[in-house]
Chain A
Amino acid sequence: MDKADCPSQNKTKDFSTLRNRKICASKAQQSSFSLVSKHKNVQPAEMLKDGTQLPSPPGHEPRNKTLLILVVVLSFSTRFYKLAEPPHVCWDETHFGKMGSYYINRTFFFDVHPPLGKMLIGFAGFMTGYDGTFPFIKPGDKYEEHNYLGMRGFCAALGSCLPIFAYLIVLELSQAQSAALITASLLIFDTGCITISQYILLDPILMFFIMAAVLSMIKFNQQRYRPFTAPWWMWLVLCGANLSGAVGVKFVGLFIIVLVGLNTISDLWVLLGDLNLSLVDLLKHFLARVAGLILLPLFLYVTIFAVHFVVLNKSGPGDGFFSSAFQSRLIGNNLHNVSMPESESRTPVLVRHGDIIRLEHKETTRNLHAHRQEAPLTKKHFQVTGYGINGTGDSNDLWRVEVCGGQRGDLVKVLRSKVRFLHKATGCVLYSSGKTLPKWGWEQVEVTCSPYLKESPSSQWNIEDHFHPELPNISLSVLKPNFLEILLESHIVMIKGNSGLKPKDNEMNSKPWHWPINYQGLRFSGVNETEYRVYLLGNPVVWWINLASLGLYVIMVAVASIAIKRGLPLNQSRLEHSRLLKRGGGLLLLGWLLHYLPFHAMGRVLYYHHYFPAMLFSSMLTGVTLDIVLKNSDLLLHSIYSDRLKVGGWLLLQLSILYSFYLFHPLSYGMTGPLAHEPGSAMAGLKWMDSWDF
């Protein structure tokens, strides 16, 4: 395919390189890195962006503060412990570390995710003295003297905020320390959350923004009785900013936007029903939310991309994914600041829409030819071949040029015109099926002649290189796309790239139903006995408690709803509990559903770590649910014993979480020695499921 794309060096005659408008992934060029770097001391800087300081819940007694401090200390210490281990590239660090380096080197690249996460990684590296010279070629490469701790520390700091945010969210929702503490310890002592926070990955950044958005949304809800005051505005703006942050890191952030959107709609609905509010007030409420939750995030999101394109101005491995016009703005690309004749021509007549032409391959002098034979892969299409030699050929070599959206007589212009080639004899259209030919075709992409004439990008081509001695050259700078066009194109490319990540047959692929039951983890580092192994796997006790609580929650809500609907006599505290379950728990359940269910419908390849945002919601729901279960233990026992049961149950829960963390902590902090199924292993007896691979 590289061959097909590369413009030939011979520039004497009039010829053009045709380039299909679909993305064709060119082989990533290896950019050269100079291996010079300075060792610098790393400070694990706490980078809380967007001014999100750890907010303390207002109006609570000081005991709160000590608990909060405890949570903060535990959270940071578990995440920063052994942060430097292993001192080599782990798993996807090879991508995101590399992309961070690209920012430092200002080299253009392509990734399926929006740029904010990588930008922050690059910035963190830059601030802590990483110079962008480490190549991040493959997992397992030693960092040696390169300064990687800054980037890891940045991710770990954001990851450390997750339990704290979860603590605060549950505290706001349930107004109960005990519930908040359950959630906090579930997350602090979850090996999965620790592992995923400790490396240069997008996930801790994404989850940070998600949780910050939820927290500010709930704080904002809490301010509903004091509208348009300073804290009300602050939480609104913070929520909007965090939304743009979440989407700016990964498109998965869209789910949190849906959650906040639904919450806002129900909020507005309540306001609408408040007949004391005048229509003007309502309009003010509405416009404030539009500004804070739609316009501001949109502006910030666009700004992120603006920064991205301004910073990355050098040609790099991502060029091939973008259109010719796009490439012309990258320094070092062969389309940068070049000039070529504008109109496609054949001396002395310019080629126009509707003209019949013959296309001759420059190297082999064969004509582009199609006939009624089935194409090699797409059986319903016709085969396209090279036929004749040195100008001879037959009537099957004739094609009619059509400019898309043009009329008869329109000129065919280089780069700017999308053209279709209609085969004169059979009426079919030149088409790129996107399927890869087998080995005999050098795994290049199949070209066919499609009898289905519907307009589609697969049948549109543009002229990328064009040389003609007798035509005046124009500078391609006139073609330079404006910012909005760039933004649009990069999104199309990202979305296509995302859906192009199809699971391969040979790979083990993770299915969404695996995730809540903690069926299979991910190997971050090391395979065999001699290596330092890190395995991303949630603490099974924590995860299974979460799973059970989900079921418990549904049952409890059903029972409570039916009891209320049937008008059974319930005392005040039970009514309060059921209201709490439905409101607070409902919000969290919705969050879990939104972050989990869409994956079932996705065609792209999925990984275990996609579940982590949902897992955060699930853990918060567990906190709320189990707390209410314990508080209602007097349904079973006499009130004297039930208080003891409540305290005992809570302690038992915490202890079992702690003990399971003690058992499974080597998953996060590294294992060496024999594998778990061998008797001498440190993890012997802990391989509770065959599918776990440590």
Chain B
Amino acid sequence: MARISQIEGNFQFRERSQWWSVTMLSVCVHFPGLTESVIAAACSRVGQSVLHLDRRNYYAGNWASFTFNGLLSWIEQYKQEVPITELEQVWRSLIDEGEDAVPLSALDSSISNLEVFCYARLHEVSEPKEDQHTSDISEPSQSQEEKESQLSSSPADPTVEVQKKITYQKLVKEGRRFNIDLVSKLMYSRGALVDLLIKSNVSRYAEFKNIGRILTYRNGKVEQVPCSRADVFASKQLTVVEKRMLMKFLTFCLDFEQHPEEYQDYTEKPFREFLKNKKLTENLQHFILHSIAMVTQHTLTEEGLKATQHFLRCLGRYGNTPFLFPLYGLGEIPQCFCRMCAVFGGIYCLRHSVECLVVDKVSNKVKAVIDTRGQRISCSHFVVEDSYIRDEQRQSTAYRQISRAVLITDRSVLPSESDQQISMVTIPPLESSAPAVRMVELCSSSMTCMPGTYLVHLTCSSSGKAQEDLAPVISQLFHVSTIPGEEPSEVLWVMYFNMRDTSALDSSSYSLPSNVHVCTGPDDSLCSDYSIKLAESVFHHILPDEEFCPPAPNPEDIIYDGDGPQAKGPGFDESTNTECLESSQE
């Protein structure tokens, strides 16, 4: 967790007692998920004073990424989650006449059905002696001819490597090399998140890697999806006629609004039917529906066309696919925004949360919050994540769930010449009632797993428990084995869990004061557009006249107060001193 200390070092550290009484905070933000962090950064950027808290001891909340050991602790914590005894009496005394208290929830029930399976051997078995080893290999499958050829040819090939299987012990030992995200998403190169990162200059706090290839699961095997011109050209799976048809269709999609006559008959019909009507082959229909547009069987034509268009427009901006992924995992992104917030004066506190809100009876607005230490902090706005809201404040509890699986494997789902690429795999529903599954396979150069392994994330909207939803898919794609003596399992370790998807809720779902802004999400879509758009909307509620995340100025263009005329920049030498003084006298 090196990042935390970096952020903490950035802001002015003052005595706790000092700032409690000093400022009336503009915005108090609770829970540093992506949406909340963006809001905090945006508010701080335009000069608002921001306090950003969370009761956890790590950043990013449900958007966090963990080392392997960190994840194991997180799993333990989840299993032992016990509600903290309420210290009602403490904050009761801080509520005045004319004020109401709105307590927050101390329990986080956004994660459920957490299950872990380990297929790796616990420890390394000591290697048998040399000659024993070779005879083990040769014995089982040796036919007469093989024996003969072995005798005549040189002794057992010394270059054949027996890849040592990674043990659980090794995973724990190398645990710091892992950065395991709870949320699995990718970034469209022209999506809301990338645009925001560029606009605000927050992009300079992180590094990114291209997704190398897009794959799909079809007819029992994993295939590459040709999406760029170069892919289509090189594809051995498409006939030349199919190549033309695909390129023609994709070119049409790029500007489909200019040709309404082509699709207006299908606006009320599913996209799937439109593709059939265009005489695209089964092959192509699959690729477009599941891997390019990534829509369902029921999605209507225009939405399908828009999705295809978005995909195509994102191609080629940074690489051959439309997607980027941040090095060190998605959990870096909320931290980047937190950093920007801190640079502009925002204050961060972990292991510190808000117990209840203080609402003014007359205006029905929040005027202060009370934290777990019994301190009262005034603020004009309160931004909070859904999981902290108690049931009493909810109008509706219609949640969806997202099923998640995190795997550590030692073999790519589709091995190729390059073992260092990030792949995205779309798996259409295995049965008609099941949801489509999305998989992201991360290589070790994405700094999310140790060399020799892949970190694989699966996501789908839940029908049931995560294990029920995703285990069938995993067994189709990987060799999973618990039986010793059988071919060793490609999956070393897997964790299943369900995460609540609150994205369908909006402000009408809660009965809270108007200056309490509840952030919902993450949603189950591939990108983070929902969270960014929500952040922008909340920001405009709080500060309707301010610009949302304007670009941060370049360091050279910042003038610091209290510095003499000499210190305009580094390395300022004697000879130009006079020049500077002259200009400051102008």
A and B assemble together:
no
Q: Which residues of B pack against A, CB within 8 Å?
A: none
Question: A residues touching B (Cβ–Cβ < 8 Å)?
Answer: none
